[in-house]
Amino acid sequence: MHEMSLAEGILDLIEDAARREGFGRVRTVFLEIGRLSSVEPEAMAFCFDAVVRGSRADGARLEIIVVPGAGLCLDCGRETALEAVYDPCEHCGAAPVKVTGGTEMRVRELDVE
């Protein structure tokens, strides 16, 4: 479960930001997770809750924003939605499609006190 190490990285980011910006508690973490990122939102929520116990983010709400998968068809040149990395183009049915979005995971915003 790599979500545990990712949650630990999020906590490190929060602690670094708190030192730099001087805030105390974190109320909400807005986290973008790409549909093609191989990160399971439910597992991330579970791991986040476990990792932040006793930290300035203890009790913080994790707001997960799922970013849709996107790609560029190498045959027809059109942008296409992707549910999985190896999906064909939704317009012409061709494969492969170059993935252009939905693989990221990033903290978009922190609501702090």
Report the CATH fold assignment for 3-112.
hypothetical protein PF0899 fold (3.30.2320)
Per-residue tokens: 57: 């983010």
d(CA 85, CA 24): 40
Start-to-end CA span in the chain (Å): 31
What stretch of H or E contains 29?
strand 26-34
**pTM of whole model > 0.85?**
yes
Give me the pLDDT at residue 87, please: 97
Per-residue pLDDT of the chain (113 residues; tens, 9 = 90+): 699 999 999 999 999 999 999 999 999 999 999 999 999 999 999 999 999 999 999 999 999 999 999 999 999 999 999 999 999 999 999 999 999 999 999 999 999 99
Q: Could you identify the residue written with the tokens 């183009």?
A: 89
Q: Are 14 and 51 in contact (CB under 8 A)?
A: no
Q: So what's the pLDDT on residue 46?
A: 98
For residue 1, the model assigns a pLDDT of 60
Q: Where are the alpha helices (DSSP H) in 24-101?
A: 41-51
